[in-house]
Amino acid sequence: MSLELIDGINKIHTLLTDNIEATWVSLIEYVLVGLGFLTLYALIALFLIIFERKICAYFQCRLGPNRVGPWGIFQVIADMVKILTKEIIPLKHNDKLLYYAAPFIVIMGSLLTFGGLQFAEGVYGVDFNVGVFYLLAVSSISIIGVMLAGWSSNNKYSLIGAMRSGAQVISFELSACLSMMAIVILGGSMNLSALMAAQEDAWFIFQSPFTWVALVIYLIAAHAETNRGPFDLPEAESELTAGYHVEYSGITFGFFYVAEYCNLFINAAIGTLVFLGGWQALHIPGCEGFNAVMDAIPSYIWMFGKTLVLIFLSLWVRWTFPRLRIDQLLHLEWKIMLPFSLANILLMAIWVIYFK
């Protein structure tokens, strides 16, 4: 499908260039690509919300939403329509500009990350030499939005939630980045396409034992960055009502909600691209028949399938473990995961020098 998609895009491109001037063509194409990403973004968020609700129900021996549509799959559409019709309640004595800007910054952070991802063979927004670095950089823009939301709401709960979120995300960013640096050493590039090419014969987890350490560290750190599961103390319901978005209602809250689920997808997708071979099929060197069968499966199915597995793992963790305290959380990061990821980089470098 990805090749057909590229063909279609090329046809649109030739159609436009034949008829309109070059500058207008670029402008129109930017808008079209942006629209495509926004649609994908919304669809992924909708899918993940229903997916999480169903999986969480099964983890608790329930059935989950089952009234609207078959297996309740339209429940999330109904919820979306409801949240669009709700009132945005204005606050007194708060910083209006920052208050209304915060959800957009959160959304923007995750949408920018979308542009750097690769969804299938040749399907991506941008691909440049510092792709991994770009993904890491823009995915942490969201934290500015979270902090602004907490600050501008003029509410003690949201402020505490935002401060906790800031401490948590900035700490765990370190481990996430360092674990990915180990992969950059192994792959020899920060360019995502080059990393994909390096994984054609074997995914990175099959190339070095230290990739497994990096993968575990990355999954924990990425999970903590999404403010979910055992690391959800920024929005700890029992202490902070809803954390940094306690004063938001209607679609402004909806933005935070959608961004949370898309960050879940983004973290799983980055993990897939960097550790699990992205859209590359499972290849065993020397087994031509097996490789041919695996190649017959389209690349976008590989990409989304692997991402879904990581998302499922994240949900499993979320619905299993109790919430950490802030000191336990920082202990986990600074005393356990950071030394491990630093040592892992060193060991990976030695591995690359002597065994590759």
Partner 1 sequence: MKKYFTDIFSGIWNLLKGMKITGKVLVSPAVTECYPEKRDELQPKERFRAELTMPHNENNEHKCTACGICAMNCPNQTITVNKSKITDENGKSKIVLDQYLYDLGSCIFCGLCSRVCPQGAIEFTNNFEHAVYTRSKLIKQLNKPGSKKVEVAKPVAPAAKPASAPAQQEKEAAPKQENENNQ
Q: Which parts of this chain interact with partner 1 (CB under 8 A)? A: 55, 57-63, 66, 316-317, 319-321, 336
Cα torsion angle, 26, 28, 30, 33, sign = negative
SS3 119: strand
Give 26 or 60: the residue with its C-beta nearer to partner 1.
Answer: 60
Q: Cβ 336 to partner 1, closest distance in Å? A: 6
Give 293 or 336: the residue with its C-beta nearer to partner 1.
Answer: 336
Beta bridge partner(s), residue 124: 118
User: What is the number of other CB atoms lying within 10 angstroms of the CB of residue 156?
Assistant: 11
- The closest alpha carbon to 242, from 164, 173, 172, 171, belongs to 164
Q: Cβ 313 to partner 1, closest distance in Å? A: 9
Q: What CA–CA distance (Å, rounded) separates 93 from 289? A: 68
Q: Cβ 318 to partner 1, closest distance in Å? A: 10
User: What is the number of other CB atoms lying within 10 angstroms of the CB of residue 240?
Assistant: 22
Q: Output the CA–CA distances (angstroms, integers) from residue 136 to 115, 139, 173, 225, in the order listed.
A: 12, 5, 8, 11
Give 63 or 284: the residue with its C-beta nearer to partner 1.
Answer: 63
Write the burial class of residue 98 (CB in 10 Å: 0-12 exposed, 13-18 middle, 19+ buried). Answer: middle
- The closest alpha carbon to 227, from 130, 111, 142, belongs to 142
Q: Output the CA–CA distances (angstroms, integers) from residue 152 to 103, 253, 290, in the order listed.
A: 12, 14, 57
Q: Cβ 261 to partner 1, closest distance in Å? A: 20
Give 1 or 336: the residue with its C-beta nearer to partner 1.
Answer: 336
Give 120 or 213: the residue with its C-beta nearer to partner 1.
Answer: 213
Instruction: Write out the two tokens for 255.
Output: 């933005």
Whether the CB-CB separation of 233 and 324 falls below 8 Å is answered with yes
Q: Cβ 340 to partner 1, closest distance in Å? A: 8
Q: Cβ 207 to partner 1, closest distance in Å? A: 23
Q: Cβ 67 to partner 1, closest distance in Å? A: 10
